[in-house]
Amino acid sequence: MDSDKMVFRSDFSGREFPVSDKIAARTIRHSILHLMQKDNPSFSASQFLAISELNHYREKYIAHYLSKQIGELSDVEKAVVDSIADKTTLSGKPEGKNPQTSTLGQRVADQVASFGGSWTFIIMFSVFIFVWIFLNVLWLANQGFDPYPFILLNLILSCIASMQAPIIMMSQNRQEEKDRERAQNDYMVNLKSELEIRMLHEKIDHLVMHQQQELLEIQKVQIDLMNDILRKVR
């Protein structure tokens, strides 16, 4: 019979799984086995279960570890645990918002802040002030529309400054929100990396223990064969 079609009954849940998914409980880390025995006290290290059941309790152990270390899980930690369970990536998710969804006012604020903080704005405004002073003092002999001390120019500058400041603050607030999203994204990625490394260690330990058991079995078979050969020779 094809090994893919052969099934076994899990001692933990009583459900049937492919034989290729069969795992010996003695190869499971004690912390995870102890967690499984809380849900099924009759389950022992001498029994067997499926790899999918083991992975479920690995994820449960990670969630338990997080809640013990940092208290109640926040939405961020829950998203990380769910990402591990679903085998999805986290990079770029917090910043995955479409820039087209921003309002007209937000886009205008960003453009004003970008232009107001550039050398183009400084040079253009310096030229405007120089031309204004030149026209009123030299060209119109201080008898023009805004003679010295340039009250109208001061009023225009004050109005521009009073309007520009809150618009720039709006843009800075949006930038701070993006920075918080980036920081949250970095935290989620780092947390997932740490947990994935923990799970990787678990799997490596399991593979090493499983291979050791198989090698022991092979050695026992080889010893039996050698004993049979020795008996025949004698």
| Residues 85, 100: Cα–Cα separation, whole Å | 32
The reply to whether 55 falls in a domain is no
User: So what's the pLDDT on residue 89?
Assistant: 62
Q: Which residue has the higher pLDDT, 184 or 198?
A: 184
The reply to whether 173 falls in a domain is yes
Write out the two tokens for 181: 């999203």
Reduce the DSSP state of residue 139 to 3 states and report it: helix
Residues in the chain: 234
Q: Is residue 67's pLDDT more than 70?
A: no
The mean per-residue pLDDT over the stretch 29-57 comes to: 83
The reply to whether 125 falls in a domain is yes
Q: Is residue 215's pLDDT more than 70?
A: no
Write out the two tokens for 42: 């009759």
Q: Which residue has the higher pLDDT, 181 or 221?
A: 181
For 130-154, what is each residue's pLDDT tens digit? 998 888 887 777 777 778 888 888 9
Give the torsion through C-alpha atoms of 43, 48, 55, 197, to 10 deg. 100
The reply to whether 35 falls in a domain is no
Domain that holds residue 176: 99-186
- Cis peptide before 149, with omega less than 30 degrees from 0? yes
Whether residue 170 contacts residue 106, with contact meaning beta carbons closer than 8 Å, is answered with: yes
Average pLDDT across the chain, whole number: 76
Q: Is residue 73's pLDDT more than 60?
A: no
The reply to whether 45 falls in a domain is no
Q: Say how many C-beta atoms besides its own lie within 10 A of residue 204's C-beta.
A: 10
pTM value is 0.42
User: So what's the pLDDT on residue 123?
Assistant: 92
| Residues 159, 49: Cα–Cα separation, whole Å | 75
pLDDT-derived band of residue 127, with 50, 70 and 90 as boundaries? very high
pLDDT-derived band of residue 95, with 50, 70 and 90 as boundaries? very low
Q: Is residue 191's pLDDT more than 80?
A: no
The reply to whether 214 falls in a domain is no
For the chain, what percent of residues have pLDDT higher than 90? 2
The reply to whether 166 falls in a domain is yes
Q: Is residue 98's pLDDT more than 70?
A: no
The reply to whether 94 falls in a domain is no
Distance of CA 201 to the CA centre of its chain: 20
Structural domain tally of the chain?
1
Nearest to 33, CA basis, from 17, 12, 19? 12
Reduce the DSSP state of residue 48 to 3 states and report it: strand
User: So what's the pLDDT on residue 226?
Assistant: 76
For the chain, what percent of residues have pLDDT higher than 70? 70
